[in-house]
Amino acid sequence: MTNIISSEGNIQTKDGTLIFFLKNIPPQPKAIIIIVHGVAEHAGRYGYTTERLNKFGYGVYRFDNRGHGRSGGERGYVQSFMDFVEDADLIVQMAHVENVRLPVFMLGHSMGGFIATVYGAKNPDQLNGQILSGPAVIELPLKDVRLLKRLPFNLLPKLRVGNKLGKIISRDPAVVEDYQTDHYNLKKITLKMSGEMFIKGPAWLQNNINKYILPCLIIHGGGDLIVTPKASEWLYNNISSQDKERKVYAGLYHEILNEQEKDRVIEDIHVWIEKHIQK
């Protein structure tokens, strides 16, 4: 789509961290979509998804979570998982101010799906709906997570562990290679961030998931080896939303927006958003 207005910049959080953002806005957008990326990656990996959403007439805001990509903060570290949620709110409020009267949706993947879910539970009146892709909302059935539960991550917050996810994010070898060579992707993350995101965060959701009432589309790869489909099943069964839908794509790995079938996934997102623009 031609005439896309693209820009980038930084917004400062209350603790002084600079959050890097990208905006890609078509002429007369019908809605705004805010993309929240997953652990150890960055917003730049959602370029193709952004292009497709732009073609549908949606403006897209993307940002790097603190400690990731081109945002500030110590690499792979967060003091509290709520810091990610509060940072996301800065982007939501920016989108509202710059796009008065337009519906605003949030698309969160993996850790970004967790951040989006917490955001939705805490802020039910700020969004028109959410798309949650492979959301990491329960404890992951990974060996490293089981080990993490036995480690005092609050006492060893800066100890770093390797990012071993690259080989199983997608069935597409090109995606795997790009992930592993992308210098903005984190090669290590701290125990503190791991504990916040994969232990403390899911525990918070266990106690607060009933507060989630937003319209939502939950999407998941049936062959996801990182966040198994049990996570999205739990989410679907426990939220209080009356308007909810879940789609599982047989055989697809974790990054369903980077699988060869990605156009089908993005079209399903498109159809869902179109329905909810009218509501």
Concatenated DSSP letters of 158-225: T-EEE---GGGS-S-HHHHHHHHH-TTS-SEEEHHHHHIIIIIHHHHHHHHGGG--S-EEEEEETT-S
Whether 191 shows a pLDDT value over 90: the answer reads: no
Cα 117 to Cα 137: distance, rounded to the nearest angstrom: 8
Domain that holds residue 102: 5-277
Q: CA separation (Å) from 87 to 63, 78, 137, 159, 245?
A: 9, 12, 19, 24, 27
Using 50, 70 and 90 to split pLDDT, how confident is the model at 143? low
Domain count within the chain: 1
Contact 217, 132 (CB under 8 A): yes
- Residue 175's CB is within 10 A of a number of other CB atoms, namely 20
Give me the active site residues, please: 110, 224, 254
Contact 180, 166 (CB under 8 A): yes
34: left (phi over 0), alpha (psi -120 to 50) or beta: beta
Contact 215, 128 (CB under 8 A): yes
The per-residue pLDDT for range 23-78, each reduced to its tens digit, is: 999 999 999 999 999 999 999 999 999 999 999 999 999 999 999 999 999 999 99
Averaged pLDDT for residues 200-210: 95
What are the structure tokens assigned to 103, written together? Answer: 């519906």
CATH of residue 259's domain is 3.40.50.1820
The per-residue pLDDT for range 231-252, each reduced to its tens digit, is: 999 999 999 999 999 999 999 9
Output the pLDDT for position 155. 62
